[in-house]
Structure 1
């Protein structure tokens, strides 16, 4: 079997031009195809990731798609920028690698989890993610304390026993704090008290039996992250996600000052970058994004390395339905799985439209797809409506 051509698309969410998934489909001479994604769908960088998938795709035309390890090593070592690369290089590698695993599982007629060693669980505990953006089929901003409470109660009513909120994204006027603060050093009491007000209200509303994950999107520096952490840990935080810019030493400093688990991973790429966090025990949970850490091939190795150090895993999932599907398979097989992330954007129709199937959890648990491959594929819409599309032969 040989790779004959690759379609690469830069998409755009209808009504949300800031949502730009980068996806690909690899075709073979035996009629089997596979879909993948470079998970740089939000913020800046999507056009760069699109270009990277195109460049890497040219290297693998004519190769056997079942030789995924051989292909991965070529993309990593024969590109110069691959070794010690960052988000764009690794997202490009990831998109093609995911598509190759989709092909491989379809070739053998099994769900992806079979090729990864077999599933240890059929249902995955799932949390409602990023409730500062609401919890509905459209984008909302949580500004008032009652907004945070309402969103949390809505998710819990749907059966979730874990939620995640960035309490420090919007001020009381609904404007981002990035525009409100002159720096991110030690915070004035106003900001610390505001976050505690929101957190305290949410905890009281949902009770002691629902986990709260505190997101921070690396907005703060080490000292201000500790400020918030010392307040937050009183409310039994499940884990503190991206408290600061991820570096092994500053993360270790935060970890040593707080009494709750620290999580990082969506901005850490490859096993080489994760290794120092394992070695210094600065994180208790990692969040590798399969769509930008190196694909299934690399993510499985990262998770296995984490297991050696008793570090738990929650795949970072904030992209199209392709990323959701592949994450479920990886999380089903690894022994150190903790919980699955269900981002509020997965409730928005513009994002659902990119997948053939609408995979959604029930009562806070996801079922693992059982169809051959990753369990989802790109919808026809992806091939009809896009910002850019390139076919590589």
Structure 2
């Protein structure tokens, strides 16, 4: 079998277009089997860069055998030159091609990807409702008052979730985006009271028999994260996520030495090399690699295996489109050190849900792992027909090292 051409699409997320611009590819073969993959730079800035990078790196895969995923991955990583630096855009491109290759392998052999990864440890995945500061399902934020944070949390719990994640630092009391400098350094008493009031209202109203994950989005630094971490300890939180900029694991280590609540991080770490410092320094207890930007399924499985050596539990980060969700489910089913699956607020919205053929959603806070061959999902006809941009690559680049 041989890869003959690769289509690259910048998808239209409709009303979410300001926040989400998923970039996907479809890898075609001479046997008529195709595979889909996602480049995980879907939100904020960067989607056009991922769209261009995916076109460029696609040339490296043309003519190769999709059954040889390790060979293809190594070529993309080394021949691209920039892959050796572990940047987000290049790794998003690698991830999309790799994900599509695994999809092809599963379809060729007639099995789900989890079978190719060694088998299924579980058929159901405990799932948390993620980023409730923006809303949940049809209850749309952003939220300002402590009472609103408690209300949206209860709304998710009433749907059967027993774990939620909230960034209490993103939204100011007036509903605008809280400036980052307000949660860096030594927080003012006013800021600490805002955080305490919000977290306290969630516990006072919704109780203590569910897990509360506290998101920081690297808005905090080591100083402010320790102060916030003390509140996490007070309110018995499951984890504090991305408390510092992840490029320096010593800062997460500093937080961990002062705070009892475990640290979660990893969505902005690319490749196993960038994880090693966190593992060696015991700077992460819940690792969160993103299958659509950490190097694809080939690489995320290696990160999960390496994490097990350091007693680190895993959650495959999932905040992109439905293809990213599909890849996460396949990997999480096949690893022994799985902790919990992320279901992002944006993934509850119709404009994201229609981008794939199948609309998988959790039931009572639990995801079932699809048993269809490959990823178990594919980009929908609607998404392809309404794509904002489309490019096709059908030739190999010559003269590249690797």
Q: TM-score range by the shorter chain?
A: over 0.9
Paired residues for 1:169-318 under 5 Å? 169-178=170-179, 181=181, 184-246=184-246, 247-318=248-319
Query: Following TM superposition, by how much is the alpha carbon of 1:244 offset from its aligned partner in structure 2, in angstroms?
Result: 1.3
| Residues 63-115 of structure 1 deviation map (CA, whole Å, 9 limit, x = unaligned) | 11111100000000011101022100100000000000000000000011000
Q: Which residue of 2 aligns with 1:5?
A: 5
- Contact 1:196–1:232 under 8 Å retained in 2: no
Name the SS for the 1:4 alignment partner: strand
- Give the structure 1 partner of residue 397 of structure 2: none
The residue aligned with 1:14 is 14
Distance in 2 between the 1:274 and 1:51 partners? 26
Give CA deviations for 1:240-297 in whole Å, capped at 9, x if unaligned. Answer: 0001111211111111010110011001110000001111111111000000000000
> Cα RMSD over matched residues?
1.1
Partners of 1:137 and 1:288 in 2: CA distance: 28
| Alignment partners' CA distance in 2, 1:325 and 1:16 | 20
Once residues 231 and 362 of structure 2 are traced to their aligned partners in structure 1, the CA distance between those partners, rounded to angstroms, is 32
Shift of 1:17: 2.2
Give the aligned length: 392
Distance 1:380 1:305, change over 3 A: same
Cα distance between partner residues in 2 of 1:138 and 1:183 = 27
Give TM-score, length-normalised by structure 2: 0.96
Per the TM alignment, residue 308 of structure 1 is displaced from its structure 2 partner at its CA by 0.4
Cα distance, 1:342 vs. partner? 0.3
Per the alignment, residue 164 of structure 1 pairs with 165
Once the two structures are superposed, residues 198-231 of structure 1 have per-residue CA deviations (whole angstroms, 9 ceiling, x without a partner) of 1011012221210000001000111011111112
Q: Supply the distance in 1 between the matched residues of 2:149 and 2:80 (Cα, whole angstroms).
A: 46
| Residues 5 and 28 in structure 1, CA contact (< 8 A), matched pair in contact too | yes
The question of whether the paired residues in 2 share the 8 Å contact of 1:222 and 1:250 is answered with: yes
Please list, as runs of the form range in 1=range in 2, the aligned pairs for 1:314-393 lying within 5 A after superposition: 314-393=315-394
Structure 1 residue runs of 4 or more that deviate by more than 4 Å after TM superposition: none
Shift of 1:323: 0.5
Q: Secondary structure at the match of 1:9?
A: strand
Residues 226 and 258 in structure 1, CA contact (< 8 A), matched pair in contact too: yes
Distance 2:232 2:192 in 1: 10
User: 5+ unaligned residues in a row in structure 1: which ranges?
Assistant: none
Consecutive unaligned residues in structure 2, runs of 5 or more: 395-402
- In 1, are the aligned partners of 2:182 and 2:191 still within 8 Å (CA)? no
**Greater displacement, 228-237 / 311-320:** 228-237
CA deviation string 1:117-157 (max 9, x = no partner):
00101100000000001112474201111111111001100
- Judging changes above 3 Å, is the alpha-carbon distance between structure 1 residues 278 and 15 closer, same or farther for their aligned structure 2 residues? same
- Aligned mates of 2:184, 2:261 — CA distance in 1: 22
